[in-house]
Amino acid sequence: MLAGKTALITGSTSGIGLGIAEQLAKNGANIVLNGMGDAVEIETTRARLEAAYPVKVRFHGADMSQPEAIEAMFQSVDAEFGGVDILVNNAGIQYVAPVDEFPTPKWDAILAINLTSAFHTTRLALPHMKKQQWGRIIQVASAHALVASPFKSAYVAAKHGIAGLTKTVALEVAELGITVNAVCPGYVWTPLVEKQIPETAQARGITEAEVIQNVLLTAQPTKKFVTVEQVAALASFLASEVAASITGAVIPIDGGWTAH
């Protein structure tokens, strides 16, 4: 379905990003992984995907907080594949604290990685997409692109910014065969969510078990975590030809959270 296409997925060495990378590889796209982690584990993942599917799988360790590193990654992809056909902006970090206690460096890092990196990847991907009159840009946003939660000022601000960026770019390229959409998962059991549980417990003065039941899953009427596979399936659909008329959409996949 995506044979001959090249997909770059930021933050794809684990969690949602890796799930999306695997689904796109299964559908025939060459894959460029990006992210942090143990070098041996990353190479094992890269080799596993390349062995499992008839596609090329590469890795680039660009620091998504650094515009120069992002540009270097695109130069590498352009040299080997000719450009990025499918861009998935998934890289993200989180920190939880009251706004008046929020460390300034944490605010800057979250905005840089969760929002500004998507601006840089988008601006670098679009020339190739415009030239070929086809492209898919998929933002992995969050239910927090649509609603807020206490103690997550930087994350919520960044994800609301992603929603605005999605809509703006979609309008700019609507006649060029390029779609731009955001998927907005609720709580997915990933390393990012697992890490924020003790932080949220400390911020709220409750136990970690209470965070899971009374803070995380209480927001989702299904009372279940969204799965990586479900998010990956939605992203894969948006990358397909049958989704060509879906653009500028900010799509919840949140167990009913934002239906409240």
- Catalytic residue numbers read 155
How many Å apart are CA 236 and CA 27, to the nearest integer?
Answer: 8
Q: Which of 190, 194, 185 has its CA nearest to residue 252?
A: 185
- What is the phi-psi region of residue 255: left when phi exceeds 0, alpha when psi lies from -120 to 50, beta otherwise? left
How many Å apart are CA 32 and CA 9, to the nearest integer?
Answer: 6
Q: Which of 154, 50, 173, 67 has its CA nearest to residue 111?
A: 154
Which residue is it, tokens 């992984």?
33
How many Å apart are CA 18 and CA 41, to the nearest integer?
Answer: 13
> Can you read off the two tokens belonging to residue 113?
């990685």
Cβ within 8 Å of residue 99, ≥6 positions away:
151, 153
